[in-house]
Amino acid sequence: MEQMMEEGRMAGRAKSLPDHELNERKLDREKYFEITNWSFHHAHTGYPKLARFMVDGYGQSIFRKFSYLSTRGLVYMQNELQVLERELFYMDKAEHALNPSTLQSKADSDSASPGRKALMDTIQTKWMQYAEMLDKAARVGNMPEPPERDTSLLQNKMYGGRGPAQIVNEDLWLHDREDLIGLFSSQALLEKYMQYAINLTGHPGMIMFDRKKLHRVSQGIMITCIVGLLVAPLYPMQALANDGGIDMRRMGAMIGVTILCTAVFALVLVLCTSAKPHEIYMASVGYMAVLVVFMEQS
């Protein structure tokens, strides 16, 4: 569909632009694509290859948040605002001592204290800068820490591993792990285990496997397991229900099958997804409800 729309747009342009200009634009697009879409293996050694490695789906987009510098900057700006706050207080106090009614009118107050407007403008500017920095510091501070394995893999890549080092004498930032953030969401446990198993057969921490492929494999395993968990309990429950009716022993066995299957279902979600605990809990409750309904109808 998108290709048809693109062809339609190109056809519309062809009616309004001469052929030589269309060819020039096509060449410009190809050059732009070549500049901005270099693969990891074709990127130049150094920062170009390191940056491509960090964004090409391997999940190692790790950076420092500079907590100390942001805190120093906030403390410095906070002190500047405190100084302005005191200056405004003493200005109001002086005006009130001379004429209390002056503070009841902005025009009278500005007239009585020519520097008031400049002071208020400075306060507004400083506060906006402080609030913006405070908001961004809070956002960056709440970003998740990268997994230790991703940090180690990025370190090995910077040191070169089997190839040349990408960064020389400029890698100290990566050793302060408490100050690092990862821009990508965390991997599911199963994806981490698969990557770990792959690394066992090669150079430790240096085997690169596309995260998208790992994710597709993990999702395929999860779908297979969930379908199996929806079908597998049907036979034992039906067999227990039809084996001479329902008594306490058979009812206990059916409840046990329900609990066991629900526990396996939750385990699959924990291993194959990066869902939060309450999301896993809600999904497990829904799955158990389906089994309970089937048990009642049996």
Q: What is the 3-state secondary structure (H, E, C) of 80-144?
A: HHHHHHHHHHHHHHHHHHHCHHHHHCHHHHHHHCCCHHHHHHHHHHHHHHHHHHHHHHHHHHCCC
Listed as own residue / partner, the contacts of 198-204 with beta carbons closer than 8 Å and 24 or more positions apart are: 203/161, 203/162, 204/156
**According to the model, what pLDDT value does residue 243 have?**
67
Q: How confident is the model at residue 239 (pLDDT cuts 50, 70, 90)?
A: confident
Percent of the chain residues past pLDDT 90, beyond the cut: 14
- Note whether 294 and 205 are within 8 A (CB): no
pLDDT at residue number 30: 66
- Give 254's pLDDT tier (boundaries 50, 70, 90): confident
pLDDT tens digits for range 21-65: 777 777 767 666 566 666 666 666 777 777 777 776 555 788 888
Compute the distance between CA of residue 106 and CA of residue 250 in angstroms, rounded to an integer: 84
pLDDT for position 202: 45
pTM beyond 0.85: no
**Model confidence at 252, in pLDDT bands (50, 70, 90)?**
confident
Q: Which residue has the higher pLDDT, 85 or 254?
A: 85
Give the contacts of 152 (CB within 8 A, at least 6 positions apart): 205
CA torsion angle for 81, 82, 87, 88 (degrees, to 10)? 70
User: Mind listing the pLDDT tens digit for each residue in 267-288?
Assistant: 888 877 767 777 788 888 888 8
Give the tens place of pLDDT for each residue, 169-204: 666 677 788 888 887 655 555 566 665 555 544 444
* Token pair of 256 as six digits: 């046990």
Residue showing tokens 């500047």 = 80
Checking if the pLDDT of 262 tops 80, the result is yes
**Across residues 246-271, what is the average pLDDT?**
83
What are the boundaries of each domain within the chain?
A: 66-142, 212-297
* Type of residue at 16: S
User: pLDDT category, 97, cuts 50, 70, 90?
Assistant: confident
pLDDT reported for residue 201: 47
Residue 261 and residue 291 in contact, taking contact as beta carbons nearer than 8 Å: yes
Residues 112 and 99: beta-carbon distance below 8 Å: yes
How distant, in Å, are the alpha carbons of 110, 113, 223 from that of 91?
Answer: 11, 8, 70
Distance of CA 132 to the CA centre of its chain: 21
In DSSP notation, 155-216 reads: HHHHH-TTS--SSSS--GGGG-GGGEEESSPPPPHHHHHHHHHHHHTSSTTT----HHHHHH
62-96 pLDDT, tens digit per residue, is: 888 899 999 999 999 999 999 999 999 998 888 77
Q: Note the pLDDT of residue 77.
A: 96
